[in-house]
Structure 1
Amino acid sequence: MSTPTTSFGREAAAKLARSKNEPAWLVAWREEAGQLASTLDLPKPEKTPIHRWALDVYGANRPGQAVASTAQLPQAITSLLPAEAKGALIVQHNSSVVYTELPEELKAKGVVLTSLEEAARTHEDLLRQHLMTAYQRDEHKLAALHAALWNGGVFLYVPRGVEIEEPIQALLFADDAEATFVPHILVIAEANSRFAFVENVNSAIGDTETTLLHNGAVEVFVKSGAHVRYAAVHHMEKAAIDVSYRRAVLDNDARIEWIIGDLHEGNTLTDTKSILKGNGSNSDAKIIAVGTGKQRVSLTTQAVHFGRASESDMITRAVMTEEATAIINGITKIEHGATKANGQQTEKVLMLSPKARGDANPILLIDEDDVKAGHAASVGQVNAEQVHYLMSRGIAKTEAERLIIYGFLDPVVSEIPLAGIREQLQRILERKLG
């Protein structure tokens, strides 16, 4: 049964860790996080009263059944795997990782792909050096709960100079509404490595009154000269709440691309942040969301510049239908000493119903003189002139509006690095947008 967060603390966290035979250091680490969870407050995202959401559940540890091949996975999972998948793959089912596949040529190059729980035993030094240092346990109650409860998870290590052609895939799937579903993805890209990673979060919990809380986190450490393309598609049912905090830390001349489709059916809280520590580092974030029904969507995208000549670009686009509400926050922070930095951002919300609501909040925080920074924001309906132009070319009004909406979202859809995932995303869009 689910338990209120107010009753979750040090002892409960330590008991859970011991029940999974985790290393002593991790038991103590979780114990500290449990103590923090009992004292910290919830985060306070702009204009989004998440204290009204059912965030007082953490479920029970419900491991999936480990399998030796994808053919042995439940059909609901295999249906989500792209047919053209050739590279590395890791699958989490409810509270545990059940399948991992890493081609031999990548193993020979020193690439590591395993569950985070297994990495705590086999790669302790790397884990302790990086785990929850970009997204910290004491940021707020949800962060502390995540630290105390994370399960399964993904650990990806790519050595210096290794380039991987095929995207590495992680499928995180829940079909038990009472399961603890708290995956943590930790990616370490050593100097001059290059690869793409695709995260697919999905569920099949059916029509239930029980709330499934996905309290997920991503940390990507991009070392000097490395290039990481991180794509994510989130689509769970209305009975689920999607909480996702994403962080990237970039060294000199490092680059990250965020390509995010937040297409969840229920309430959504996401925060995607790049920390540009190194000189010449670069972050490019493209994020879309589609809200239906009475969904509440809070999307925050951030770039914090420390490095000289660092660059960031953030594009967030949301489409709201029916009575859905979107709060879109863009925050560019240029710290003192980040000379020649360039931070740009654009937030756009398209409302398709008189009762839909959208709010775009661009924020620039500049503590250095010799920099460039800019923002653009808009909230409105489908452009009538564009519709009229298409209709004048013989296209029906509904089809004209559909084309405009898809064009509005295309900057993200077209960038997904796997054809199968792009097709899945397009199917979700068609379903959500009618």
Structure 2
Amino acid sequence: MSTQLTTPTDRGSAETLARGKGEPEWLVALRGEAAELAGTLPWPKPEKVRIERWNLTAVGGYETPASASSLGDLPADVQELIAEGTENLLVQHNSGVVWKQLSAELAAKGVIFTDLETACKEHGDLVQQYLFQAVKKDEDKLTALHAALWNGGVFVYVPKNVEVELPLQAVLFNDKAEATFAPHVLIVADSNSRVSYVDTVVSDKGSINGEFVHPSVVEVFVKPGALVRFGSVHSLGEKGVDLTLRRAIVENDGRVEWVIGDLNDGHTLSDTKSIMQGQGSTSEVKVISVGKNAQQMSLTTQAVHFGKSSDSNMITRAVMKDSASAIINGITKIEHGATKANGVQTEKVLMLSPKARGDANPILLIDEDDVTAGHAASVGQVNPEQVYYLMSRGISRQDAERLIIYGFLAPVVSEISVEAVRTQLQRLLERKLEG
């Protein structure tokens, strides 16, 4: 299906909506500028995927959210995704946040965990330093459109030397194609702090009948000596297009750990990038994806090294069923001056059908001599003998494929250190495989 390459907003309407929500003038101006840019910039052009054929403008309209009086008011599918006993939780429903809570202990330590719209009003000076600094609003039509329309979202700030032991959790869900669903996640970990953040992005696949687009941006700032663990699992319906950009800027001796589960049923553009600016900065990325039916996926991981002795490791494992296709790009860039840097990447694709397609593209761009870098990539069909062997033991073909998929993904899943992320990933993986 070809898309109408127009922009579903303009400067006037973006600014009017922002003022109607009581947003500060600096944010009103930002949204207006972004809307104007969105009318002139081109869509991103990922490798070997023609996203211009997707419906990219079905972003819907803003709908004022109604706060939930209790967690029991949330849909059952959402409730089961909430970690038992969690004290730190945020829930976004379509265009806005309907539930948020932070433990008194963390609040007393100066931790901020709230929706981004509220943070722009209550912590404007802090937010303004970082918002759209890792992902610029003028990069392309996607970033500009998101900057004009984003809603709800998440803001996390962890002060210096503060350690958040239990994960902060967010559930972002939509059940109405006509409502704009465009969360923006902004995380700032100050010097020598520690934090784990987990979110789940889901849609009610039974109630959404129309096409929708989920334009999402994540910005993570890791200050010197800080550690951020970021886990995210996406499970949107087949009529949805998921466009998600994630970016981290890591300073001296900082570390970011990404765990991404792209388990959507619809077309997916997922780009996760770590920029290691500081000396001794490190990045670890693990991505898991399962494609089925005729969905198309562009999955990119990137590591850019500026700091000396910086280190990156990227692992992607994807399973393609039916006539699904995935283009998997791993890009390691070591800039001049990043001596002693080390960049490693691995991409593996397992195809369960002769009609499925998987392309793994490892890319090393090295502008410095005194470094180490390596890559490994493999694409292959499942061995039919494995399926027949399991079926000969009384296991159905569907269960046999499921076991093979679990075995293929297990080396990555088992290494996930945050239990909440591992549990979320396994639950939604099972849901997808069960159809």
Equivalence for 1:425? 425
- Work out whether 1:30 is the aligned partner of 2:31: yes
Query: Secondary structure of 1:368's partner?
Result: coil
Structural mapping, 1:28-427, within 5 Å:
28-82=29-83, 84-206=84-206, 208-383=208-383, 398=397, 401-416=401-416, 419=419, 422-427=422-427
* Structure 1, 5-14 or 47-56: larger mean CA deviation: 5-14
The offset of 1:21, in angstroms, is 1.6
Per-residue CA shift, 1:343-387, capped at 9, x if unaligned? 000111100001000100110000000000111111101246877
Distance 1:85 1:308 in 2: 42
**Do the aligned partners of residues 207 and 110 (structure 1) sit closer, same or farther apart at CA in structure 2, a change above 3 Å counting?**
closer
The offset of 1:25, in angstroms, is 1.0
Distance 2:187 2:339 in 1: 29
Distance 1:162 1:411 in 2: 32
**Do the aligned partners of residues 16 and 392 (structure 1) sit closer, same or farther apart at CA in structure 2, a change above 3 Å counting?**
closer
Ranges in structure 2 where 5+ consecutive residues have no aligned partner: none
Q: Any conservation in 2 of the 1:4–1:57 contact (CA below 8 Å)?
A: no
Amino acid at match of 2:42: D
Distance 1:392 1:37 in 2: 53
Distance 1:256 1:169 in 2: 17
Query: Secondary structure of 1:6's partner?
Result: coil
Distance 1:396 1:69 in 2: 43
Amino acid at match of 1:130: Y
**Do the aligned partners of residues 115 and 206 (structure 1) sit closer, same or farther apart at CA in structure 2, a change above 3 Å counting?**
same
The offset of 1:31, in angstroms, is 0.5
The offset of 1:205, in angstroms, is 4.8
Q: Any conservation in 2 of the 1:231–1:416 contact (CA below 8 Å)?
A: no
Amino acid at match of 1:89: L
Per-residue CA shift, 1:271-324, capped at 9, x if unaligned? 000000000000000001100100001100000000000000000111000010
Distance 2:180 2:423 in 1: 29
Distance 1:227 1:150 in 2: 27
Amino acid at match of 2:43: L
Q: Any conservation in 2 of the 1:292–1:432 contact (CA below 8 Å)?
A: no
Equivalence for 2:13? 12
* Structure 1, 171-180 or 72-81: larger mean CA deviation: 72-81
Amino acid at match of 1:176: K
Query: Secondary structure of 2:134's partner?
Result: coil
TM-score by length of 2: 0.93
**Do the aligned partners of residues 229 and 19 (structure 1) sit closer, same or farther apart at CA in structure 2, a change above 3 Å counting?**
same
Per-residue CA shift, 1:1-35, capped at 9, x if unaligned? xx974352222211221221211111111110011
Q: What RMSD over aligned residues (CA atoms) do the two structures have, in Å?
A: 2.2
The offset of 1:427, in angstroms, is 3.8
* Structure 1, 320-329 or 196-205: larger mean CA deviation: 196-205
Q: Any conservation in 1 of the 2:60–2:178 contact (CA below 8 Å)?
A: yes
Query: Secondary structure of 1:177's partner?
Result: coil
The offset of 1:325, in angstroms, is 0.3
**Do the aligned partners of residues 391 and 353 (structure 1) sit closer, same or farther apart at CA in structure 2, a change above 3 Å counting?**
closer
Ranges in structure 1 where 5+ consecutive residues have no aligned partner: none
The offset of 1:328, in angstroms, is 0.2
Distance 1:141 1:125 in 2: 27
TM-score by length of 1: 0.94
Amino acid at match of 2:23: E
Aligned length: 430
The offset of 1:79, in angstroms, is 3.1
